[in-house]
Amino acid sequence: MENLWAPWRSTYIQNTTNKSNEGECLFCRLHNEHQDEKNLIVKRSKFSFVVLNAFPYNAGHVMVVPYRHVPSIEVLSDDEMIDVFHLVKASIEAIRKAYNPQGFNVGINIGRVAGAGVENHVHIHIVPRWNGDANFMPVISNTKVISEALVDTYSKLYEKLKEE
């Protein structure tokens, strides 16, 4: 599926290909660079962070990522799990305040066959949903229309997550 506003898609795919033997993963790099605005990290906590999906399904699509590089949630400690799910809760609250969605898809893809794009660093997707957000564009032209620029999404969610 194409994004009308995302001509850099091929660069993203090349940079996020899981190359565990060739260096640092995408999420580890984002965490370690400490350039949160540039890397779209909207909140950090003790064991995890919230980052915008650079190629969202809908405006407000975020991911909650533990700092520790592990492939699945059962490897996380109890403290890490509590922290991760605290950020899931805070993210949902912030997205509700900023966008007033009618629902959410919240999911964890564990392993490549389950759809994980970065399969060795577990993360949780939070996608806000509205009635009618799936329209004819994906069916007719294999194109998803995103209604908001990432910089605007970043500003909205950063402000709302500061309140949490």
Please, which residues have CB within 8 angstroms of residue 39's CB and are 6 or more apart in sequence?
30, 33, 51
Q: What are phi and psi of 90, to 5 degrees?
A: -60, -35
Indicate which residue of 61, 121, 123, 125 is catalytic. Answer: 123
**Could you read off the pLDDT of 73-124 as tens digits, one per residue?**
999 999 999 999 999 999 999 999 999 999 999 999 998 888 778 889 999 9
The pLDDT confidence band at residue 72, using thresholds 50, 70 and 90, is: very high
> Average per-residue pLDDT in the chain?
84
CATH code, residues 25-163: 3.30.428.10
For residues 127-141, give the mean pLDDT.
Answer: 69
Question: pTM higher than 0.85 for the full model?
Answer: no
- Catalytic, 123? Answer yes
In contact, 95 and 114? CB cutoff 8 Å: no
Residue extents of the structural domains in the chain? 25-163
Tell me which residue of 126, 125, 48, 123 sits closest to 83, measured CA to CA: 48
